[in-house]
């Protein structure tokens, strides 16, 4: 249900804390992140007037070249988290976990700037975060321990889209909501309440330039979508790929469909490109809270446990029936993909 010009993000966080007092620290952390997001939004909105935001610097934890805006966003969000009840941060832009307040209760995983390849061409970018309790195992001195837990331990997750509008999408485990920045007031206002992803939709998102690197199930699933009414899916599909996970996730939340970033045969891509802690687990929490599903192709993302903080994971999410359909291609229950002789012999992508 859409409620234009609704209550503010602050009002919503107050209501969540009234519902469950144990969320007070989580809510305080979200307030700090939202304030930083407004600042980053202003920088993004100035585009080239803010300088060369795509200027290349060092390599980050994953081997990607950091751009100026990656570093600006990382610094601004770290500054915000220093003021919040946060003990540890795992950021895409920091090799190791950053220790903040030693006795604070929360650990935050963050992708300060998602969609980095869009910086410099004026396209949409964002921020993704997941909040968990700190793990203080007696006898364990592993600084990563708080992050090496299933995504089900997240107390909240969210993302920001810096697009034509700046939106703050958040869940504290009680539904997923979109707040849109009222720039004049400097306030995020509720625009999409308690979202419900439609169970089925005729739209998919995948970087199709990787087709030759995909494994059989992904190739077959996409090929059958491409066959449209002439294939076993028996309906036509549309395709979208924004190169920013946040923008694709917002579209799926609003009008459904399915997003795939599978593992593939490229060197280093066996687990795809997206990182479990600060990309796939937060998105999975938001999608499930909106009635959708999120898997690595077959298994629920929220049950995956990272072995290291920058671990990657394949990601399939969106409308439940579409995500389930992808799983069928993995376990051999797909809708007769090879049924038609024409299909088998002249498959668009079969080798
Ligand atoms: O360039 P590719 O392979 O299409 O990957 C695009 C994906 O990579 C990402 O940009 C990864 O995020 P970062 O920009 O934070 O590294 C996603 O937002 C997006 O879905
Ligand atoms: Mg990212
Ligand atoms: Mg990033």
Best substitution site from 67, 94, 117, 262 to test ligand 1's pocket, by max atoms within 8 Å of Cβ?
117
In order of start, what are the domains of the chain with their CATH numbers? 9-192 (3.30.540.10), 203-345 (3.40.190.80)
> pTM score, two decimals?
0.94
115 three-state secondary structure: coil
- Residue among 324, 253, 328, 252 nearest 295 (CA): 324
| Rounded Cα distance, 290 and 328, in Å | 22
Q: Is the pLDDT of residue 48 over 80?
A: yes
Q: Is the pLDDT of residue 35 over 70?
A: yes
Mean residue pLDDT of the chain comes to 93
Q: Is the pLDDT of residue 157 over 90?
A: yes
| Ligand 3 centroid from CA 68, angstroms | 12
pLDDT of residue 338: 53
212-221 pLDDT, tens digit each: 999 999 999 9
CA angle 313, 62, 220 (to 5 degrees): 35
Best substitution site from 211, 261, 280 to test ligand 1's pocket, by max atoms within 8 Å of Cβ?
261
Residues 6+ apart with CB under 8 A from 17: 23, 24, 27
| Ligand 2 centroid from CA 10, angstroms | 26
Instruction: State whether the beta carbon of 244 lies less than 6 angstroms from ligand 1.
Output: yes
Instruction: State whether the beta carbon of 25 lies less than 6 angstroms from ligand 1.
Output: no
Map tokens 């202003």 to a residue.
42
Best substitution site from 62, 69, 116 to test ligand 1's pocket, by max atoms within 8 Å of Cβ?
116
279 is written with which tokens? 């990309």
User: Which parts are annotated binding residues for substrate?
Assistant: 114-117, 207
71-101 pLDDT, tens digit each: 999 999 999 999 999 999 999 999 999 999 9
Residue with CA closest to ligand 1 atom 7: 243
Residue with CA closest to ligand 1 atom 5: 243
* Residue 64: band (very low, low, confident or very high) from pLDDT cuts 50, 70, 90: confident
Please report the DSSP string for 147-180 in residue order. GSS-GGG-SEEEEEEESSSEEEEEESSS-EEEEE
Q: Is the pLDDT of residue 44 over 90?
A: yes
Instruction: State whether the beta carbon of 111 lies less than 6 angstroms from ligand 1.
Output: yes
Instruction: State whether the beta carbon of 283 lies less than 6 angstroms from ligand 1.
Output: no
- Residue among 270, 163, 150, 256 nearest 210 (CA): 270
268-280 pLDDT, tens digit each: 999 999 999 999 9
Instruction: State whether the beta carbon of 243 lies less than 6 angstroms from ligand 1.
Output: yes
pLDDT of residue 340: 47
CA angle 110, 132, 256 (to 5 degrees): 65
- Residue among 107, 90, 110, 106 nearest 98 (CA): 90
* Residue 334: band (very low, low, confident or very high) from pLDDT cuts 50, 70, 90: confident
Instruction: State whether the beta carbon of 64 lies less than 6 angstroms from ligand 1.
Output: yes
Q: Is the pLDDT of residue 192 over 90?
A: yes
What is the percent of the chain with per-residue pLDDT over 90, rounded to a whole number? Answer: 88
* Residue 136: band (very low, low, confident or very high) from pLDDT cuts 50, 70, 90: confident
Q: What is the mean pLDDT of residues 189-218?
A: 97
For residue 91, give the ligand nearest its CA.
Answer: 3
pLDDT of residue 1: 44
Q: Is the pLDDT of residue 107 over 60?
A: yes
Does ipTM top 0.85?
A: yes
pLDDT of residue 66: 94
| Beta-sheet strand order (sheet of 176-182) | 98-99, 86-91, 106-114, 125-133, 156-162, 166-171, 176-182, 187-192
- Residue among 257, 284, 241 nearest 124 (CA): 241
Instruction: State whether the beta carbon of 275 lies less than 6 angstroms from ligand 1.
Output: no
Neighbouring C-beta atoms of residue 70, cutoff 10 Å: 27
Q: Is the pLDDT of residue 348 over 70?
A: no
CA angle 332, 335, 341 (to 5 degrees): 100
């Amino acid at each position: 249900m859409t409620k234009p010009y609704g209550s503010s993000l602050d009002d919503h966080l107050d209501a969540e804390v009234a519902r469950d007092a144990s969320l007070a620290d989580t809510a305080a952390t979200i307030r700090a992140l939202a304030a930083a997001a407004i600042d980053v939004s202003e920088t993004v909105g100035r585009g080239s007037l803010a300088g060369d935001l795509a200027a290349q610097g060092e390599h980050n934890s994953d081997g990607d070249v950091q751009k100026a805006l990656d570093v600006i966003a990382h610094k601004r969000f770290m500054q915000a988290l220093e003021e919040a009840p946060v003990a540890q941060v795992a950021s895409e832009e920091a090799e190791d976990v950053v220790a903040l307040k030693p006795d604070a209760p929360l650990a935050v995983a963050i992708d300060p700037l998602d969609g980095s390849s869009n910086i410099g061409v004026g396209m949409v970018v964002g921020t993704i975060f997941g909040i968990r309790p700190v793990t203080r195992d007696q006898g364990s001195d592993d600084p990563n321990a708080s992050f090496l837990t299933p995504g089900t331990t997240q107390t909240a997750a969210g993302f920001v889209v810096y697009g034509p509008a700046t939106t703050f999408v958040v869940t504290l485990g009680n539904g997923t909501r979109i707040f849109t920045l009222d720039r004049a007031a400097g306030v995020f206002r509720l625009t999409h309440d308690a979202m419900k992803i439609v169970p089925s939709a005729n739209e998919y998102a995948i970087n199709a330039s990787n087709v030759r690197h995909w494994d059989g199930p992904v190739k077959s699933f996409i090929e059958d979508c491409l066959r449209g009414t002439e294939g076993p899916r028996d309906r036509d599909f549309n395709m979208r790929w924004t190169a920013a996970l946040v923008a694709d996730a917002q579209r799926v939340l609003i009008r459904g469909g399915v997003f795939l970033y599978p593992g593939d045969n490229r060197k280093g891509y066996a687990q795809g490109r997206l990182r479990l802690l600060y990309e796939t687990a937060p998105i999975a929490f938001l999608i499930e809270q909106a009635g959708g599903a999120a898997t690595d192709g077959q298994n629920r993302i929220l049950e995956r446990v990272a072995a290291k903080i920058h671990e990657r994971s394949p990601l399939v999410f969106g409308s439940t029936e579409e995500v389930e359909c992808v799983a069928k291609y993995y376990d051999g229950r797909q809708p007769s993909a090879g049924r038609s002789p024409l299909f088998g012999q002249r498959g668009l992508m079969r080798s």
